[in-house]
Amino acid sequence: DTGVSQDPRHKITKRGQNVTFRCDPISEHNRLYWYRQTLGQGPEFLTYFQNEAQLEKSRLLSDRFSAERPKGSFSTLEIQRTEQGDSAMYLCASSLASSGSPYEQFFGPGTRLTVL
Amino acid sequence: AQSVSQHNHHVILSEAASLELGCNYSYGGTVNLFWYVQYPGQHLQLLLKYFSEDPLVKGIKGFEAEFIKSKFSFNLRKPSVQWSDTAEYFCAVSLAYSGAGSYQLTFGKGTKLSVIP
């Protein structure tokens, strides 16, 4: 069973640097989601793709954040000019749109970002 | 916008004790409800889900939850906890319609459960 995978698992960067994270969803899943989780909080929605189309973005997703899913398979999340407030766990999830259970999301292990 | 409240930040129980974790949501329309669990060092896993069917939902590992619409609640229960249930538990809600905002999950802050052997 190949679940959702994320790379890297940990990233330490200096303030002002750019970082990029990758998410590989479960292979047949057409929906992909990015969430951010900070200490003591639950995950917060960032953005969502159906196939290659980015359909929703949260207000949390500032102009420094960009996400892509170029071929409807893997996705990347880039943060430009990182700030210390960007330090968080970045979670990816995927789901399969079907008549059965369109809203069940499967989560990956996350990428922990530390901005120094 | 919808929101989720989990009443307990940290719950400590002895093995074999009964568990009930509170979850309330705010949204006036039809919702889907979830409990996710995160064991130490592992990723979020779905424990159980409610999709507008039987209000009493049974999940994995002996967990169940009851949806009480009038109270906007979806409390998680287990009659007898084990040490292996030590984890963080998250309640989440999504809107049950096909439209903007319906696919995102809104999570509570989580409840840490520590089970003492």
Measured distance CA(B33)–CA(B68) in Å, rounded: 11
Q: How far is A107 from chain B (nearest CA, A)?
A: 6
Cβ-defined contact of A40 to B36 (cutoff 8 Å): no
A54 phi and psi, to 5 degrees? -85, 110
Q: Reply yes or no on whether the pLDDT at A57 is more than 60.
A: yes
Q: Which of B36, B105, B109 lies at the smallest CB-CB distance from A45?
A: B105
pLDDT tens for B17-74 read 999 999 999 987 888 899 999 999 899 999 999 887 789 999 999 999 999 999 999 9
CB-based contact, A74 to chain B, within 8 Å: no
- Count of positions (residues) in chain B: 117
Q: Are strands A10-13 and A111-115 parallel, antiparallel or unpaired?
A: parallel
Q: How far is A37 from chain B (nearest CA, A)?
A: 10
The pLDDT > 70 percentage for chain B reads 95
Mutate to test the interface with A, among B30, B34, B105 (most CBs of A within 10 A): B105
Q: Reply yes or no on whether the pLDDT at B98 is more than 80.
A: no
